A = this chain, B = another copy of it.
Amino acid sequence: MTETARRPGRRPGPTETRAAILAAARDLFAEKGYDGASLRGIARAAGVDPALLHHFFGSKEGVFVAAMRFPLDPGELVPKIAEVPRERLGESVARLLLGVWDDPERRAPLVAMLRSAMTNERVAASVREFLSAELFGPVMAAHGVPALRLDAAAGQLLGLMVLRHVLLMEPLASADAEELVALVGPVLQGYLG
């Protein structure tokens, strides 16, 4: 607990400040949605200087990813997807996202988030706005994919993962990841390529 040891006087340490910011962020994203919540508003609700949010999380996207424990970090995914040659986009996206879902540690928060979004309209709105602004938008810009085709591709991946990992539908649940890449890669390529 080096952070605690470095704590200056009675001021809250970085761990507590970070937790306070994330709690305020969760409230504000739930109340106003991703687009409606501002870094300034979150800082005010947490009683901290807005500069601290930049210091801890870099951006509003970073605050959202941390607050929702959002398991797909677009700041990591988008550059990977953007640099894939257009003709291998389907296969690469399939392999990338199957890899995320097939890792239990990364899947658990993704399933939790999907459950929340399916039962809470405000969480659904936050997730939707976040995905549009930070994942779908940049991918559309990088590869010139029409929005409806991107939605269809996302639907293919989302539904596959729900059947594979939540409903445990066989033979999908036990299928080898590369077999699935071979099966859905061409479909994603058709949508995105």
Contact = CB atoms under 8 A, between A and B. Distances in A.
A118 B151 contact: no
B154 A156 contact: no
A172 B152 contact: yes
Copies in the complex: 2
A163 to B, nearest CB: 5
Nearest to A163: B155
Given A152-B172, A156-B187, A168-B128, A118 B162 contact: yes
Contacts of A17: none
Interface residues of A, number: 44
Given A148-B175, A149-B183, A158 B162 contact: yes
21 contacts: A111-B118, A115-B118, A119-B119, A124-B167, A127-B167, A128-B167, A148-B171, A148-B179, A149-B183, A152-B160, A152-B184, A154-B163, A155-B161, A156-B160, A156-B187, A158-B162, A158-B163, A159-B159, A159-B160, A159-B161, A162-B162
Given A115-B118, A117-B166, 4 more contacts: A148-B171, A148-B172, A154-B169, A155-B163
